[in-house]
Amino acid sequence: MTKKKVWIDTDLSVGMKREKRAGYCDVDDGYAVLQLMKADTIEICGISAVFGNTVIENSYPLSQKMSTEFALGEIPVYKGAGEAINLKAVESNEAVDALAESLRKQPLVIMAIGPATNVGLLLLKYPELKRQILEVVLVAGRRTPKDYFKIGNQGNHAQDLNFDLDNDAFRLMFENGIPVTLCPFEISNKVWVKAEDLDALEKGDTGNQWLGKASRAWLKQWVDQGADGFNPFDVLASHYIISPEDIISEELNARLEIHPDDTVKENNKEVFKAYLLCDKKEGSPVKYCYDVVPDYHKKLMNSLLK
């Protein structure tokens, strides 16, 4: 059996406190990385850290920790971008150079579950390697500007964070004709991790235990918002790479459009932002994942607990 060769680009923030406000950062990258590490059909060729849910000074050591403790230290880990692409001063970094080196050896699927800045930088610095990218799987997008990302019942709309943090990185993938698969809020909002799932993880191996424990504070934040679980956004990307038959998708076209920012309250056409919209109109072809098979939750937990 030949294994699917995958590069992980992640803004791991499991267990980290938020930088600018009270509370904890998202744990979902931990689920995605652990699920790929446990998949028999996947070979992880490298992990690049990126800023996003947390600063690069957190996501990089967390990436090292996951490789060392849960993958026998066999997966090389690299420090990537600490901020969005600055088109007026484009610099490579250790992670982008390492990804280029790996792409020179073999074609790769890239799971980019942060702002995709490192992939954008690669396309600017090493455009000759773009045909070695088999597919980039991203967590972003929606169908219309009024498909709000609603978390709980407090009326707050969440950002399309990965896309919002680096619009140019996404634009570069479309302009370069990279095969893109999107796992947006529309699909992850159909998957819930609840307290009993964390109980099960805490009875598992060391990786499961770490993830289960670190997810408690994150779960509490969602419960405080009126939900009874949380959506593990990034794990839809890893699950799609491992078992695409569990994920329901359609072919759509993606484009960037500017509309009022729905995450700003009482916004009377004062604050605008770019949206990543996917529909049948003009745009770059993408695979848009929007639903899971009926017994998905069981499959997800089995893949993590194996």
Stretch that binds Ca ion, among 99-107, 108-116, 205-213, 235-243 (CB under 5 A): 108-116
Q: Is 29 in the site for Ca ion (CB under 5 A)?
A: yes
Member of 113, 116, 169, 180 binding Ca ion (CB under 5 A): 113
Q: Is 186 in the site for Ca ion (CB under 5 A)?
A: no
Q: What is the 3-state secondary structure (H, E, C) of the chain?
A: CCCEEEEEEECCCCCCECCCCCCECCCHHHHHHHHHHHCCCEEEEEEEECCCCCCHHHHHHHHHHHHHHHCCCCCCEEECCCCCCCCCCCCCCHHHHHHHHHHHHCCEEEEECCCCHHHHHHHHHCHHHHHHEEEEEECCCECCCCCCEECCCCCCEECCHHHHHCHHHHHHHHHCCCCEEECCHHHHCCCCECHHHHHHHHCCCHHHHHHHHHHHHHHHHHHHCCCCCECCCCHHHHHHHHCHHHEEEEEEEEEEEEEECCCCCCCCCCCEEEEEEEECCCCEEEEEEEEECCCHHHHHHHHHHC
Q: Is 169 in the site for Ca ion (CB under 5 A)?
A: no
Stretch that binds Ca ion, among 22-30, 168-176, 251-259, 298-306 (CB under 5 A): 22-30
- Between 217 and 236, how does the x/- string for binding to Ca ion read (CB under 5 A)? -----------------x--
Stretch that binds Ca ion, among 24-32, 37-45, 122-130, 279-287 (CB under 5 A): 24-32
CB of 99 to Ca ion, least distance (A): 17
Stretch that binds Ca ion, among 58-66, 68-76, 109-117, 215-223 (CB under 5 A): 109-117
Q: Is 9 in the site for Ca ion (CB under 5 A)?
A: no
Nearer to Ca ion, 11 or 186 (CB): 11
CB of 260 to Ca ion, least distance (A): 26
CB of 139 to Ca ion, least distance (A): 6
Nearer to Ca ion, 126 or 240 (CB): 240
Q: Are 31 and 74 in contact (CB under 8 A)?
A: no
Member of 6, 7, 11, 30 binding Ca ion (CB under 5 A): 11
Q: Is 198 in the site for Ca ion (CB under 5 A)?
A: no
Nearer to Ca ion, 129 or 173 (CB): 173
Write out the residues near Ca ion by the rule CB under 5 A: 11, 29, 113-114, 234
